[in-house]
Amino acid sequence: MLSHWPAEATIAPVTPSNGPHDHRVPASPVITGSRENAGAGNSPRLHEPPRRAGELPPPTRGCYAPQVRIPGPEEIRALHEKHAPTAEAFASVHRHCELVWRVAEQLLASPRLAHLDAELVRAGCLLHDIGVYRLYDEDGRLDHKNYIRHGLLGQELLESEGYPAALCRFCSHHTGVGLTREDVVRQNLPVPPADYLAETPEERLVMYADKFHSKSHPHRFLTPDAYAAHVRRFGEEKVTAFEALREEFGDPDLTRLAPQAELPPVTG
C-alpha cells in the first residue's frame, strides 16, 4: 500500500491469466445536442486549445457536457476490458469503479445536487481509476510504490483513446481530498509538481465518492469517520477539506451498499 498519500485504495498483487480483450472504442468525442441541465450563459467548447505534452487539461464544468459525448457504462466496461492486463485486475478495478458510482448515484438523489450532470459523474466514476492498469508489470504485479501515478496514467490513457479533457481530468484530479503542488513537493511524490485539485462539482463528487470504497483486498467500504481518521495522518488541513466535501455532498448510507462488497464498512 502506498504509504505517503491517502489514495483511496490499493490492490493486492495478482497473477496473470487472460489477455486483454480488444474492444474498439470510438477514437474521438462526438459533438451532440443540448441537455436539459446545460448551464446558461456558457459558450460552447467545441474545440479544446492545444496543450503541450504532459500539460494538464483545464477543468471542464458539467455545463460543457452538451458538447461532449459521454460514454455509457457498456462502452466504459469495454475500455476497461481492453486495457486490463489480467482478469483479476479488471475485476478489482472495474468493480471498484462501479461501487464508487453507486455511492455517487445515491448522493445525487439529493435534490440539492440536482444541478450536477449525473451522466458526467457516472462516466467519471467508472473511468477514474483506469490508469491503475498501467501500473501492472508483465507478471501481473501492481507497482504499489508508484500507485499515485495512476491518475496521470489514466489521463494519458484516455487522451490516447481520444477522450476530451472533461473526462480525462477525472483520472488526474481525484487523489485524496485534493493533491496540491505543495503536497507533491513536500512528500516527494513521483508525479510532476502541480495542483491536481478537483475543481468542478462533478470532479469533486467523483473524488469524494471514491473515498468510501477501498479496493484493498478484499474490497470494502469506509464510513466517513473512518476515512477522516485515515486522512488525518496527512494533516489537519486534509480533514478540513474532507469535512467541506461532506458538507457539500452529504454522507452516503453505506449500509444500503455494503451487501455489494465483501465485508461490512470500516467504521473507524
Footprint of Fe ion on residues 230-259 (CB under 5 A)? none
Q: Which residues of 30-59 are buried (b: 16+ CB within 10 A; e: fewer)?
A: eeeeeeebbeeeeeebeeeeeeeeeebbeb
Alpha carbons 227 and 6: distance in angstroms, whole number: 9
Strands of 219-262, DSSP E? 220-222
Does 8 participate in binding Fe ion (rule CB under 5 A)? Answer: yes
Ordered DSSP codes for 137-149: -TTS-B-GGGGGG
202 vs 210 by CB, closer to Fe ion: 210
> Amino acid identity of 178?
G
Alpha carbons 254 and 130: distance in angstroms, whole number: 24
Candidate ranges 123-131, 154-162, 185-193, 221-229; the one touching Fe ion (CB under 5 A): 123-131
> Amino acid identity of 141?
R
| Contact residue for Fe ion among 83, 93, 124, 129 (CB under 5 A) | 129
Give the contact letters, 166-205, x = binds to Fe ion (CB under 5 A), - = no. Answer: ----------------------------------------
Smallest distance from Fe ion to CB 102, Å: 13
Cis amide bond preceding 57, omega within 30: no
Q: Which helix (H) or strand (E) holds 207?
A: helix 201-210
Candidate ranges 7-15, 83-91, 103-111, 240-248; the one touching Fe ion (CB under 5 A): 7-15
Alpha carbons 7 and 27: distance in angstroms, whole number: 30
Candidate ranges 4-12, 52-60, 75-83, 154-162; the one touching Fe ion (CB under 5 A): 4-12
Smallest distance from Fe ion to CB 96, Å: 6
129 vs 183 by CB, closer to Fe ion: 129
Tell me the number of residues near Fe ion by CB under 5 A: 3
**Contact positions vs Fe ion (CB under 5 A):** 8, 129, 210
